[in-house]
Structure 1
Amino acid sequence: MKNIFFILLSLVFTSITYAHEGGHGTPTKNWSFVNNNETIKADFIMKVGDMVYLSNENNEVLTFNYSEFKEQDQNYISEKANFINNLNFTKESHRLKTFDYSILLLLTGILVFVFSLFSWKTKPKKYFVTYNLFSASLIMMGCANTKSSKVLKMAANDIPFLESVFGVFNKVNTRHDDQYFYVESDGIPEHEMMTGITNWQQQVPVDHDYSGNNAWAIPLQPELAENTLSTKENFMKGAIAIAVNGIPIFNPLNNRGEDANVIGELDKWGGHCGRADDYHYHLPPTHLQTKVGEDRPIAFALDGFAVYGETTEELDENLGRFTSDSTYQYHAVKKYPYLIAAMKGKVELNPRTQAPENEIMPQAKTRGVRPDLRPLRGAEIIDFENPEPHQYSLSYTVNSQIHKINYGWDTDGNYNFEFVNPDGTTEKSHYKRN
């Protein structure tokens, strides 16, 4: 009887320790750095791209670049990161198996408890106690296993709040159904564009019809993803968020995996034009805070979570944090990855795309009016004017000589371009959007 009792106690203890994830106490590893002799004691959390996250004895999250560590610690980090990635790869199938196992434990525990009730009068009381302990251990193990499969329920997006934020901009229209909040615009922001670009592909901003079935869609009920998708390894095609002025926000990395900001592709507002002459941001448009307010979102990610400006609050590895309103929000930071280091929420992927150039669905599409062009070496955009509605003038320099592109469109879909050379000669092109 004593042996059975101790076995049951062991089962109960095992169930409790299994339910406890992670550990507490003093960190166990000393870390050394290339540029100084100082060491720190901390535990490894994760590696995201080139960034390494550690936790010190005060449970503070420390971040370092992978290259800052000595070779021995770099090898340790790589081994740990690969181990975690392999675990994440099999996480889904393991979770499903655990769920079935937990149900079996719970049902068995309940059956044993019911059996003990029937045996109360026919068996000695010591058997009743034994059955109850055994039943309790089974139920506790079942509950411990099901804890890990629970998903935190996020609050739904508040439609009046969304309408008020996007409603600040007159050119933006919104609507919604039971699943999505839709954002409609013509793809042209109110602010100036293009000035400051030093790495230019000769594209200029034209209007795009982001309306009707081609509107941007924000999920009304965001859900946390089981496995976040890093923007360093995903989403190099299409938008990852929509700014509150109706302009899409793309991955800070271009489709070649380069930081578009660092290599001079972006203007003073963090945007540029794609091959379809579509203007979009690659940086968080924090300048919009002057219109919407510093305490309101500047964008919404396509997983449904809001994007705010910079903050002094501690952010997680995705550049976001949970709030007291039972939701999650991203924040902008000054350096790469700038915003949304990884998608915290669930997103549907276009099955015709593959990482790193996979894209989120639904995704509004662009329709260019002229062939895409190649980069113009040595060009710098110095001015961009909007003399009248739908008419623009872009000035750029090459070898200190000023060139101009005067262009515009009418309501019938006619697009006219005039290219002005430094000597005053011009070339004209006409395009028709069907």
Structure 2
Amino acid sequence: MKPYKPLIAILMLGAIIMACKKDKQSDTTTSGSANGSAATNGTVGTNVPAVYKKIYGATDIYIEGDYVVIKTNGFPDHKSPYYSGTAWASTKYEAYNGTNPLWGQNPNKIAEADATFKIPLNPKAATTHAATPLGAMGVAVNGVDIFNQYAAMYSPLTNEANGFDQYGGHPQQQGVYHYHVEPTYITANKGKDALVGFLLDGFPVYGPLENGKTITNADLDAYHGHTGVTADYPSGIYHYHITAADPYINGNGYYGTPGTVSQ
């Protein structure tokens, strides 16, 4: 058996190194709800800054170099008429009970839509401001995609908005549920001035209220944001605000340099 001792020692050393490496970047399983601050049945890396732990709908959050990686499954944590006819209908379906008299349900249904968002850990203003895409331009704290102010083919949301459910979202053809406007389930539960999510450039998105004042487009720059102190950033940071009027969440492109999203 003696000839095998060096091999056993090498294998044991390798196992120790891997264990240490895992411990250094260990993930802690946490749970939460719309009123909580931790990922729902997901994992959060121990070195993830506290503000990103407010993304309670993520399945996984960790740091990768200069980026925060946020993984989601795309399911809204609230009920919706768009759960009708799905495997989750018995617990997640809710008939439309909003206030839009022109509401009409589109033919799409909510489906699982796994996504990986990779956003800058330390966002900075971009020299050249890239346009936001049709599709995910950010992620809400409940793990739902945030889309820009356009419908397909960069059309206005005028008609499409009549298909938004009572919480401000709807699914597209592949079943990806998303928000173009204020996600009212989040702002109702966390506050109109609360953190709503992050755009791909790493800058945070806040609700329509700031210091007791309802924010309008006139209070914001061309990218639909401004710099100031927030509850999460006491030293100040550029941040976007949701408003009741077009462009709702983002204006003429990203203020910073966007990371990536894969779905």
Q: TM-score, normalised by structure 2?
A: 0.62
For residue 224 of structure 1, report the CA deviation from its aligned partner.
Answer: 0.5
Aligned match for 1:303, one of 198, 201, 224: 201
1:204-215 correspondence to structure 2 within 5 Å: 204-210=109-115, 215=116
- Deviation of 1:261 after TM superposition, in Å, equals 5.2
> Does the 8 Å CA contact 1:185/1:246 hold for their aligned counterparts?
yes
Residue 328 of structure 1 deviates from its aligned partner by 0.2
Residues 226-275 of structure 1: per-residue CA shift (max 9 Å, x gap): 2434xxxx434221110011111111211222233544232222211112
CA shift, 1:208, in A, is: 2.2
Contact 1:236–1:257 (Cα < 8 Å) also in 2 = no
Deviations 1:42-90 (A, max 9, x none): xxxxxxxxxxxxxxxxxxxxxxxxxxxxxxxxxxxxxxxxxxxxxxxxx
Question: Where does the alignment leave 5 or more consecutive residues of structure 2 unmatched?
Answer: 1-46, 83-95, 230-234
The answer to whether the 8 A contact 1:236-1:253 is kept is no
Whether 2:25 is the aligned partner of 1:164: answer: no
- Contact preservation (8 Å) 1:252, 1:282: yes
**Candidates 120, 125, 129, aligned match of 1:228:** 129
Distance 2:260 2:254 in 1: 17
Secondary structure, aligned partner of 2:195: coil
Distance 1:180 1:292, change over 3 A: farther
Q: Relative to 1, partners in 2 of residues 1:268 and 1:258: Cα closer, same or farther, differing over 3 Å?
A: farther
1:251 paired with 2:148, answer yes
Return the offset for 1:209. 2.4
Following superposition, the deviation at residue 204 of structure 1 comes to 0.4
Query: What is the one-letter code of the residue matched to 1:198?
Result: G
Q: Which amino acid aligns with 2:142?
A: N
Equivalences for residues 93-104 of structure 1 within 5 A: none
Specify the code of the residue in structure 2 equivalent to 1:336: D
For the residue of structure 1 that corresponds to 2:220, the secondary structure is: coil
Q: Does 1:278 align with 2:176?
A: yes
Judged with a 3 Å threshold, the aligned counterparts in structure 2 of structure 1 residues 299 and 261 are, in CA distance, closer, same or farther, namely farther
Question: How far does residue 317 in structure 1 lie from its aligned partner after superposition?
Answer: 2.6
TM-score (norm 1): 0.39
Aligned length: 185
The answer to whether the 8 Å contact 1:236/1:251 transfers is yes
Letter in 1 for 2:255: G
In structure 1, what is the equivalent of residue 60 of structure 2? 173
Secondary structure in structure 1 of the residue aligned to 2:127: strand
- Deviation (angstroms), 1:294: 4.2
Deviation, 1:307, is 0.3
Cα distance in 1, alignment partners of residues 121 and 168 from structure 2: 27
Contact 2:133 2:148 in 1 (8 A): yes
Partner in structure 1 of residue 17 of structure 2: none
Q: Structure 1 residues 235 and 163, CA, compared in 2 at 3 Å: closer, same or farther?
A: closer
Unaligned runs of 5+ in 1: 1-157, 349-360, 366-434
Distance 1:217 1:181 in 2: 6
RMSD: 2.5
Q: Take 2:177 and 2:133, find their aligned partners in 1: how far apart are those partners?
A: 16
From the CA coordinates, give the structure whose radius of gyration is larger.
Answer: 1
State how 1:360-379 maps to structure 2 within 5 Å: 362-365=260-263
SS in 2 for 1:345: coil
Cα distance in 1 for residues equivalent to 2:73 and 2:112: 5
User: CA separation in 2, counterparts of 1:240 and 1:290?
Assistant: 23
- Map 1:305-344 onto structure 2 (within 5 A): 305-311=203-209, 312=213, 314-324=219-229, 325-344=235-254
Partners of 1:346 and 1:164 lie apart in 2 by 22
Q: What does 1:2-401 correspond to in 2, within 5 Å?
A: 159-167=48-56, 169=57, 172-193=59-80, 194=82, 195=96, 197-198=103-104, 200=106, 202-210=107-115, 215-229=116-130, 234-260=131-157, 262-263=159-160, 264-311=162-209, 312=213, 314-324=219-229, 325-348=235-258, 362-365=260-263
8 Å CA contact 1:252–1:260 kept in 2: the answer is yes
Q: Secondary structure at the match of 1:363?
A: strand
Work out the CA distance in 1 between the residues paired with 2:260 and 2:133. Answer: 15
Partner Cα separation in structure 1 for residue 180 and residue 208 of structure 2: 16
More strand by share: 1
Match of 1:318, SS state, is: coil
Partner Cα separation in structure 1 for residue 222 and residue 139 of structure 2: 21
Distance 1:255 1:199, change over 3 A: same
Paired amino acid for 1:188: F
Distance 1:268 1:261 in 2: 16
Distance 2:226 2:180 in 1: 21
Q: Which AA in structure 1 matches 2:104?
A: T
> For residues 125-178 of structure 1, what are the alpha-carbon distances to aligned partners after superposition, in whole Å with 9 as ceiling and x for unaligned?
xxxxxxxxxxxxxxxxxxxxxxxxxxxxxxxxx9433233113x4x64321222
Report 1 or 2 for greater relative contact order, CA contacts < 8 Å, sequence distance ≥ 6.
2
SS across alignment from 1:221: coil
Identity %: 26
User: Does the Cα contact within 8 Å between 1:185 and 1:209 map onto a contact in 2?
Assistant: yes
1:179 Cα deviation from its structure 2 partner: 1.7
Q: Which has the higher helix share?
A: 1
| Preserved contact between residue 260 and residue 266 of structure 1 (Cα < 8 Å) | no
How has the CA–CA distance of structure 1 residues 319 and 286 changed in structure 2, closer, same or farther, with 3 Å as cutoff?
A: farther
